[in-house]
Structure 1
Amino acid sequence: MRLDRFICKHTAHSHQTSRRLVASGHAEVDGCIITDPRHAVTAFSTIRLDGQLLQQQQPHYIMLHKPAGYLSATSDPEHKTVLELLPSTLRPKLHIAGRLDRATTGLLILTNDGLWSRRITAPEEKIPKIYLVTTAEPISPDAEARFQQGIWLAREGVMTSPATIERLSEHCCRLTIFEGRHHQVKRMFAAIGNAVTALHRERMGPITLDEQLRPGEFRLLTDSERTAI
């Protein structure tokens, strides 16, 4: 957003007055006086007008080892949510980048940076999501070929992108998909006549679940993890 528009939106000043105030040196962004009304600001710019703080918000990028039994939601009247695993000081304005259902465990990313999280979750970005899958029945010999061809998801009316399977045992595999549709992994296995009994997300794009995190624990993403997206 332009600085003059931000000031107009967050104060009682008109757009014309906001533009004049910026041009005459009344506005400060991240500690610097800005005189260009067109200067771009973000949700994480610290903005002052005549010394009065209008905005100050720190970006947060969090890796959580999600345990089973928690909803991937910010609030729920009946069930525990993943936000309850975080300190209250970190919770405001956080959202989940790629939800997991209540029974699924593993890597969950929470952030207050919407532009950043969209790069992970937008289907057109084709970010790989890697899951450890355990099935009720032996994984069929044609599973690789079926998943490579794509599975039709009738609810959305779409075909999944080609997915890959790394067989680990008769009932266990490592699956890589490139979307994140509702219950997608379980629906893909149901389409080939099998049921998922356990599901654990290991990785999203370049971000891998930290093996030192126990279920329910979290840490901030490193700068290299954050900028890799």
Structure 2
Amino acid sequence: MRLDKFICRCTELTRSEAKKLLKQGEVRVSGEVIKDPGFQVYPESEVTLFDNRLSFEQARYYMLYKPQDCICSNIDELYPSVLHFLDVDRAFDLHIAGRLDADTTGLILITDDGQWSHQITSPKKSCDKRYRVQTSKDIPESAIQAFAAGVQLQNESKLTRPATLQILAPREALLTISEGKYHQVKRMFAAIGNRVVGLHREQIGDIELDAELEPGQWRPLTGAEIASVNA
């Protein structure tokens, strides 16, 4: 981890404040003054600021059942941020790994571990995400093969990656995708002449939304759930 980020994780300092103190020679690593903000340190590193050892705060990981009419952002806009639901210190220092639209409900993962969330959000990682979808029209059986082969989205140069569609009822299905294009699920159904009227995310990778949670509720991830992302 970068030294300036380490300092921010251990204190209330901003990144610019941490860099200023580094430049002033106020930070030592294993007794040696370090001024380089990019110097690599680890949770067990002995880092001191004003001769006081900094204690590393372990990364935090949560799941939250996102209700409608809130947004996956650190800033309140037209709708409030989902981070208001988290009753933890410095909740707005966290970020959402895999966002949902304001009108979409279900599983979101929240953390301050950037490398961990990158495993979920990076297109190169092909992290599966399962959605329960309600549509305005009946879903034809042909959609199963169409989604498996990839569909052409408007304003996209390539087909979507193969996706798995399981039809549960004439207008309800489970869809598993491994990428996260803008409004992808809605655009995939639009590509076959249908419209999504309800969308709920049930699973990200091996992490399923806890059945005990109600909309707006959250819990820390288990060790096994955290480890599954890097498996």
TM range (shorter): 0.7 to 0.9
Q: What amino acid sits opposite 1:217 in the alignment?
A: Q
Residue of structure 2 in register with 1:134 after alignment: 134
- Flag the 1:112–1:3 CA change in 2: closer, same or farther, 3 A: closer
Contact 2:74 2:92 in 1 (8 A): no
Residue of structure 2 in register with 1:95 after alignment: 95
Deviations 1:167-219 (A, max 9, x none): 11111111100011111000000000001111110000011000000110000
Deviations 1:34-71 (A, max 9, x none): xxxx9842589673256324564331111000011111
Contact 1:45 1:55 in 2 (8 A): no
Residue of structure 2 in register with 1:34 after alignment: none
Structure 2 length-normalised TM: 0.81
- Following superposition, the deviation at residue 89 of structure 1 comes to 1.3
Q: Does 1:75 align with 2:79?
A: no
Structure 1 length-normalised TM: 0.82
User: Which runs of 5 or more residues in structure 1 are unaligned?
Assistant: 28-37
- Provide the secondary structure at the position in 1 that maps to 2:193: coil
Contact 1:70 1:79 in 2 (8 A): yes
Contact 1:44 1:59 in 2 (8 A): no
- Flag the 1:220–1:135 CA change in 2: closer, same or farther, 3 A: same
Range with bigger deviation, 135-144 or 83-92: 83-92
- Following superposition, the deviation at residue 81 of structure 1 comes to 1.5
Q: Does 1:12 align with 2:17?
A: no
Distance 2:217 2:2 in 1: 39
User: Which runs of 5 or more residues in structure 2 are unaligned?
Assistant: 8-17, 33-37
Deviations 1:86-110 (A, max 9, x none): 1251413211100000111110001
Q: What amino acid sits opposite 2:107 in the alignment?
A: L
- Provide the secondary structure at the position in 2 that maps to 1:154: coil
Pick from 31, 34, 41 the counterpart of residue 26 of structure 1: 31
- Provide the secondary structure at the position in 1 that maps to 2:23: coil
Deviations 1:99-154 (A, max 9, x none): 00011111000111111000011111111100111111000121011101112233
- Flag the 1:90–1:44 CA change in 2: closer, same or farther, 3 A: farther
Deviations 1:20-46 (A, max 9, x none): x65xx416xxxxxxxxxx984258967
- Provide the secondary structure at the position in 2 that maps to 1:158: coil
For 1:109-120, what aligned pairs fall within 5 Å after superposition? 109-120=109-120
Distance 2:197 2:109 in 1: 23
Distance 1:160 1:45 in 2: 44
Runs of 4+ aligned structure 1 residues displaced above 4 Å come to 1-4, 6-10, 42-46
- Flag the 1:165–1:107 CA change in 2: closer, same or farther, 3 A: same
Contact 1:66 1:108 in 2 (8 A): yes
Distance 1:192 1:48 in 2: 59
Contact 1:148 1:162 in 2 (8 A): yes
Q: Name the count of aligned residue pairs.
A: 214
Distance 1:181 1:79 in 2: 22
Distance 1:2 1:215 in 2: 36
Range with bigger deviation, 38-47 or 62-71: 38-47
Q: What amino acid sits opposite 2:71 in the alignment?
A: L
